[in-house]
Amino acid sequence: MSSKKPGSDHHADAAHELPPDQVLFGRSAVMALLRKRAEKICVANIPVLLCGPAGSGKEMVARWVHAHSAFWAGQFVKVNCAAIPGSLLESELFGYEKGAFTGANSSKPGRVEIAHKGTLFLDEIAELDLTLQSKLLHFLQDGRFSRIGDEVERSVETRLICSSNRNLEQEIEAQSFRSDLFYRVSVVQLKLPSLSERKEDIPVLAEYLRTAFEKEFAIKSEPFGEEMLEYFTSLNWPGNVRELSNEVARHVLIGPHEAATQRQPRQRPATDNGTAGRGAVSLKHVAKDAIREMERSVILGVLRDNQWNRRKAAQVLKISYRALIYKIRDAGLRRSGESRGPLS
């Protein structure tokens, strides 16, 4: 969870590396506005609340703010309030002294201590129970706290960033979130848009993620053609950038054709499942899919007729050997009984 370099931590995967600004914010107006606001607030140590749907990039922006803050050299300490059971969360946050409870065989600093001169990122803050909310509020008032089982009061200076994909105002109304804590953590609110509200950013994100996964998996992949990027742009991506990232990972790992067969039906454009009328009908995509499918079965037939002799098949098909190899790979064709070849 910690970092010495701005914006990165010990996870070396694409999910944790901070992309260049032109990728992170893309070219959409809504992200340009968010970037302007983020730039203004990152220098001052004021609490930031990041809201927005799941997978929209809240953590990414939190890391960006940290990397551009005065505390960039400190650690980015993430506490996932939804993943840590309530009973453990207090000791995770504030730490404990040896003997504070059964099993506390040695003292342990809490995450707030580790985040001293760094950033404390409270992910999914709506998941904190009310008792812990009041303890957190107490800590936020003056940066003072005690480890569980300790009399000593400690003090830290840390940048606080919180995130929530629930509407905290509604949680306040439902009395599951303290309004005083809300005002303290939300001095500035940044709202991440859903990916469908920033579709013009999809091509640059997809290409960035493709090269990031190539590096991560040490594998080469086909660049996305213009049509594929157009197709991606036509999808709705209910899981936002995370869903796009998964799609790209599949493309890199198993190739474009197999990735397409594994695509979730809900992710496909309305035309794909016969629900025309609910969205724009892209005749171009329908035609392209049909041609690709036809091509695939013709190639497979010729390959079989020629006992998978690719040179002969290329001659029959009147295409170059290289083009055939590309098409075989693109369509994910394999001789039955043949084990999966190299992925690139």
Ligand X SMILES: Nc1ncnc2c1ncn2[C@@H]1O[C@H](COP(=O)(O)OP(=O)(O)OP(=O)(O)O)[C@@H](O)[C@H]1O
Cα separation, 191 vs 263, whole angstroms? 28
Between helices 226-234 and 202-217, what is the axis angle to 10°? 110
Nearer to ligand X, 259 or 299 (CB): 259
Work out whether 247 is an interface residue with Mg ion (CB under 5 A).
no
Q: Which stretch binds ligand X (CB under 6 A): 57-65, 92-100, 256-264, 315-323?
A: 57-65
CA dist., res. 203 & res. 233, Å (int):
7
195 to 214, contacts with ligand X by CB under 6 A? 205, 208
Candidate residues 14, 57, 59, 205; the one interacting with Mg ion per rule CB under 5 A: 59
Query: Considering only residues 245, 249, 256, 272, which one is a binding residue for ligand X as defined by CB under 6 A?
Result: 245
Q: Binding partner of residue 55 among Mg ion, ligand X, none, CB under 5 to 8 Å per kind?
A: ligand X
The SS3 assignment for 174 reads: coil
317 interacts with ligand X by CB under 6 A = no
* Distance of alpha carbon 121 from alpha carbon 78, whole angstroms: 5
Token reading at 117: 């001169």
Q: In the bound complex, what is the minimum distance in angstroms from residue 70's beta carbon to Mg ion?
A: 24
59 binds ligand X (CB under 6 A): yes
Q: Is residue 127 at the binding interface for Mg ion, with CB under 5 A as the rule? A: no
Do 327 and 299 meet the contact criterion of CB atoms below 8 Å apart?
Answer: yes
Helices (H), 161-201: 168-173, 179-185
Give the chain's largest Cα–Cα span: 84
Q: How many CA atoms lie within 13 A of 74 on its CB side?
A: 24
- Among 14-22, 134-142, 167-175, 214-222, the segment contacting ligand X (CB under 6 A): 14-22
Q: Is the separation of the CB atoms in 172 and 134 below 8 Å?
A: no
Report how far residue 50's alpha carbon sits from residue 33's, in angstroms, rounded to the nearest whole number. 14
Closest to ligand X by CB, 24 or 49: 24
Q: Which stretch in 3-11, 56-64, 85-93, 107-115 sits in contact with ligand X by CB under 6 A?
A: 56-64
**Residue 272 touches Mg ion, criterion: CB under 5 A:** no
Stretch that binds ligand X, among 55-63, 135-143, 284-292, 316-324 (CB under 6 A): 55-63
Residue nearest to Mg ion (CB): 59
Kindly state the number of chain residues that form the binding site for Mg ion, as judged by CB under 5 A. 1
Q: Which of these segments, 58-66, 168-176, 265-273, 332-340, binds Mg ion (CB under 5 A)?
A: 58-66
| Element housing 50 (H / E) | strand 48-51
Residue 51 engages ligand X in binding (rule: CB under 6 A): no
Within 8 A by CB and 6+ apart from 71, the residues are 45, 117, 118, 119, 158, 159
Binding site for Mg ion (CB under 5 A): 59
Binding site for ligand X (CB under 6 A): 14-15, 19, 23-24, 52, 54-60, 165, 205, 208, 241-242, 245
